[in-house]
A and B are shown apart, each in its own frame.
Chain A
Amino acid sequence: MIMTKKFIGKRIVRNEDPQLLTGQALFVDDVEIPGMLHAAFLRSDYAHARLLSIDVSAARQRPGVVAVFTAEDMGDDWQPGPPLVSPPPTAKDVIFYSRRQVPLVKDKVRHAGEAIAVVIAESRYIAEDAVEDILIELEPLEAVVDLEKGLEAGSPLVHDDLESNLAAHLFQKKGDYEEARSKADLVIKRRIIIDRGAASAMENRGIVAHWEAKSQHLTIWDTTQAPIPIRNGTAARLGLSEHQVRVIAPFIGGGFGPKMMMFYAEEMVIPWVSKKLNRPIKWIEDRRENFYATTQERGQIHDVEIALSSDGHILGLKDVFLHDTGAYDPYGLTIPLNTQCHTMGGYDVKNFTTEVSVVFTNKTLVTPVRGAGRPQGIFIIERLLDIASKELGIDLVEIRKRNLIPPDAFPYEHKIIDQAFAPLILDSGNYWPVMEKALEMIGYEEFVKDEQPRLRKEGKYVGIGFAPFIESTGVGPYEGARVTVEASGKISVATGIGTQGQGHFTAFAQIVAEQVGVAVKDVRIVTGDTTEFHWGTGTFASRGAVVAGNAIHAASSIVRKKILELASKVLETPIDELELDDGLVRVVDIPHKTISLGELALLANPLRGAVEPGTEPGLEATAYFGPNYGATAFGTHAMILEVDPETMMIKIKRYVTVEDCGTVLNPLILEGQIHGGVSMGIGNAYYEQLHFDENGQLLNASFADYLIPSATEIPRIEVGHVETRSSLNELGTKGVGEAGTIPVPALFAQAIENALYNQELEILEMPLSPNRLFELLNK
């Protein structure tokens, strides 16, 4: 019998913490290279303007300035970024106009903050001084800010070579909504509006590019979630071989999506400058730049319709919506596809029509931010069910129960195309028990029956809400990993994805330790360094643990096999009498007959003798994993919330989440992800909103006015857990990185309406605020 300790599922503290806790972890801005120069960008103050002239001569004269570059200076090297995600080839009737961001503005500015010129100087201080020396003539144009106005005839055009501001159009359908509608007892129609927020990772973006002409090699440190595509694309842009470029994503101070956007203007400019000047160049984004130049997400306008029978069954759903993509659309239809795939929630909806028009606007680019289109879909369906519950007189919980996809219906095929270009299939699920558990944990029934009436008599406005949700996770195409046993007996692992705080160095080590029988702290993981591993895509869409994790699992399993085969020969014992434990291979029942992994590693890599043809030296394996389709996680959140009816200020009294993400690798890390996701969701729901004026100017480009929740706004979050293994991968795991954010806006809407029970209030928008609530109540 082969036995090893179980590490998977254990609350193991993180390997990476001591470095982070003592200030000994390398972030991009910590990189110092002798001779390094610093960059600052001149950015447009206008959202939409023609660049008439630019004069950098004064800037070039300033002492300490080494160079100033404009679009013209880049010559033929000036190219817009590559399309990152094409429109789904598997969908029919797609209209898509691809327009990508540029390194430096050539003729026209398309969003406030767009980069126009770059100054390279001995310090960032001097570079910023020189930016002010640049003389520039911009002719302001009328800005496209409103999605509907943007599609009207006669609207100013964001891209002059197009006929309109329509960036894309996609129509998808399942079944026959019109037929379903004709049979309905109730049809509810609403307009739902969701607005933009920023990811606001604590670390701003940054890039250090170091071209060394003598070795013809380019090293780039980048706060990216996707080092491998950055390497490949940068090599192509600069006419280099991929092996001449090394991209390192060191410790990253939070990603949340925008660091998965690739070929930002700065990523196209800085390496080019380094090669041109043959000097290391550093650019670190400041917080003001982050608000303009780092991507954002969520703006959509939906006209939705739901058709129901009198007993609350959803007969069909129809959604026509506009999606704001900002000035360019490099990320394809990813976000609207996610919205489309989540508008049915976890419900058995047989007829669904969804039509999206993506609109160019003169605002910062839109690419996925934690949730990535899913919160919008869940907000819609949950709001519609809340309204239907009221109109049909069916209990809020009951109406969900009647519509949830039953456990025996999985895998459940939705037939519309998802963001991975595959037909949407919900692989596994058991939705009711999760919802039931959440309601139980928060004491839903008792609260509604006993406590709430008592509180209302006391003149308190305390509401309760719940929101079930699904989350598509773990999409392909693939990731890979290499696992190696070293002569020391420690294990080294490399994978291509990057890490932004989600504990990969530990969770992945647990997977390896499980197979190979070492202590978790003896597994050293390298992520995000293209020299260590150069096949893969990146950390996004809640896929790191699923896809890279399973690749690591596969590689570890092969290494385990190699260990056992070699040990069997060396110890002259059949494999099934061996066990792996504590870095040793042991013979069961013969305690002194052991060999360490280190010794085995040495034997597998001999200095003399022969390695048989067809075999490999060492105890190492590389493996890849690509799921057939993404695994769908699910859960329910519930909340008790008090509203001060005079000030509209809120206080969350209790917050409960129940999550099912399949096999849990490390419950400690999982909780952290959920807490963090909920915290962002609360921000999305009641605190954070990017305010653009009619000229496309961002009015709150600072932390003083863009309100990130602090420790006094976030409650204690109780996490309950259910595990339904996924059949899509050997670990049985699903993603969970974004789950915390997805149902929160829907949850807030229900809870606030429930709190202000005696007011006429129907919340059809997100985010909210005390001011907005006051307006809605006093309409």
Chain B
Amino acid sequence: MKPAPFEYYAPTTVEEALSLLAEHGYDAKVLAGGQSLIPMMNFRLVQPSVLVDLNNIPELAYIRPDENGGLRLGAMTRHHQVEIDPLVAERMPLLHETMPKIAYSQIRSRGTFGGSVSHADPSAELASVSVALGGRFRLQSQSDERWIPANEFFVGLFSTVLEPGELLVEAALPSMPARSGWSMMEVARRPHDFALIGVAAVVTLDAKGLCDQARMVFLSAGDVPKVAHKAAELLKGQAFSSEAIIASAEIAASEDIDPGSDIHATAEFRRHLANVLARRALEQAFKRAAENK
């Protein structure tokens, strides 16, 4: 399983990379961590004629605090860096908890935040977590720059708003509001497989201890990260109770998501698992929110 031939460029600045992408348009593919792209190239499922390798652009890899208590992540930051970073552990516990669930350690040595998110696999944990945190992505082209909220970035299966010539260069992840709790749960055949279903949940309580906001984002539940809007509506203003959580999980599984069937799980089983996970995740998120007063 050897890849087809390609023209190879290894720019050392973002400018250079953007210029190459502008020049080659649809012919070019970006090589970030390569952990999703290279297997596809080995299988010859994709055969890009031009590869623009971003791994020699140090200015794209960083984890920086921002003024609002959140973080800025450069697109080429390796999963491994995010996993061990103390700032992430402190400011983004949801992200910190998610990292070890991503594939295996050897994949995390190379895989990047920007690469994972741009690849837009609906099973990707980072896509759903970005949406759950209300993150934003900065996209840059030779001529332009724009910010896109994470939940508008993903438009379809392996499909984002990125135009040819455009590169995701940075993610801005806000910290969770006060009185928030979180949870990240998956069901996978083996711990590091693509999840059959997963959910990233953030619950924020108001001053009275009632639910101000409940955000559940499901992975492997449709073509893109699925935000459980109806489930969230149901919980607004509610106190924590098993009835409320059960009802919310039920709605999330039956109406908010759109899972498909494959050899590993039927859509029906996925909905069932989504229900179970939503309930368990909400319980954990509420509990943590209460502890975070």
- CB of B190 within 8 A of CB of A710, answer yes
Of chain A, the residue at the smallest CB distance from B197 is A647
Residues of A within 8 A of B190 (CB): 687, 707, 709-710, 712-713
- Asked if A33 CB lies within 8 Å of chain B CBs, one says no
Q: A288-B43, A775-B269 are in contact. List 7 more A-B contacts (CB 8 A).
A: A125-B2, A132-B4, A707-B193, A710-B190, A769-B189, A771-B269, A774-B272
Residues of A within 8 A of B276 (CB): 646-647
- CB of B191 within 8 A of CB of A647, answer no
- CB of B191 within 8 A of CB of A712, answer yes
Bound-state Cα–Cα, A712 to B193, Å: 12
529-553 of chain A: CB within 8 A of chain B: none
In the complex, per-residue mask of B192-213: 1 if CB is within 8 Å of any chain A CB, else 0: 1110100000000000000000
- CB of B264 within 8 A of CB of A705, answer yes
**B119–chain A nearest beta-carbon distance, Å:** 14
**B177–chain A nearest beta-carbon distance, Å:** 31
Of chain B, the residue at the smallest CB distance from A705 is B263
- Asked if B265 CB lies within 8 Å of chain A CBs, one says yes
Bound-state Cα–Cα, A771 to B265, Å: 5
Residues of B within 8 A of A129 (CB): 4-5
Known: A707-B190, A709-B190, A712-B190. A771 touches B264 (CB 8 A): yes
Bound-state Cα–Cα, A400 to B193, Å: 39
Known: A704-B194, A707-B193. A691 touches B263 (CB 8 A): yes
- Asked if A561 CB lies within 8 Å of chain B CBs, one says no
Residues of B within 8 A of A649 (CB): 187
Interface size on B, residues (CB 8 A): 24
In the complex, per-residue mask of B1-40: 1 if CB is within 8 Å of any chain A CB, else 0: 1111100000000000000000000000000000000000
- Some 23 contacts from A to B, beta carbons below 8 A apart, are A125-B3, A128-B1, A128-B4, A128-B44, A132-B4, A132-B44, A287-B1, A288-B43, A647-B276, A649-B187, A687-B190, A702-B43, A705-B263, A705-B264, A707-B190, A710-B190, A712-B190, A713-B190, A769-B264, A770-B187, A770-B189, A770-B265, A770-B269
Q: Tell me if A's interface is mostly helix, strand, loop or mixed.
A: loop
Q: Tell me if B's interface is mostly helix, strand, loop or mixed.
A: loop
Residues of B within 8 A of A771 (CB): 196, 264-266, 269
**A776–chain B nearest beta-carbon distance, Å:** 12
607-664 of chain A: CB within 8 A of chain B: 646-647, 649
Binding site for B on A (CB under 8 A): 124-125, 128-129, 132, 286-288, 646-647, 649, 687, 691, 699-700, 702, 704-705, 707, 709-710, 712-713, 769-771, 774-775
253-284 of chain B: CB within 8 A of chain A: 263-266, 268-269, 272-273, 276
Known: A707-B189, A707-B190, A774-B269. A288 touches B4 (CB 8 A): no
Bound-state Cα–Cα, A132 to B264, Å: 31
Of chain A, the residue at the smallest CB distance from B270 is A771
Interface centre among B4, B192, B194, B273 (most CB of A within 10 A): B273
**A169–chain B nearest beta-carbon distance, Å:** 32
152-207 of chain B: CB within 8 A of chain A: 187, 189-194, 196
**A254–chain B nearest beta-carbon distance, Å:** 19
Bound-state Cα–Cα, A125 to B2, Å: 6
Bound-state Cα–Cα, A687 to B191, Å: 13
- CB of B2 within 8 A of CB of A124, answer yes
Residues of A within 8 A of B194 (CB): 704
**A588–chain B nearest beta-carbon distance, Å:** 59
Residues of B within 8 A of A775 (CB): 266, 269
**B49–chain A nearest beta-carbon distance, Å:** 13
**B35–chain A nearest beta-carbon distance, Å:** 12
- CB of A700 within 8 A of CB of B191, answer no
Bound-state Cα–Cα, A287 to B5, Å: 20
**B106–chain A nearest beta-carbon distance, Å:** 13
**A641–chain B nearest beta-carbon distance, Å:** 16
- CB of A687 within 8 A of CB of B189, answer yes
- CB of B263 within 8 A of CB of A128, answer no
Of chain A, the residue at the smallest CB distance from B42 is A286
Bound-state Cα–Cα, A286 to B1, Å: 6
Residues of A within 8 A of B191 (CB): 712
Bound-state Cα–Cα, A129 to B5, Å: 8
**A126–chain B nearest beta-carbon distance, Å:** 9
In the complex, per-residue mask of B44-70: 1 if CB is within 8 Å of any chain A CB, else 0: 100000000000000000000000000
Which 3 A-B residue pairs are closest in the complex by CB-CB distance?
Answer: A646-B276, A286-B1, A125-B2
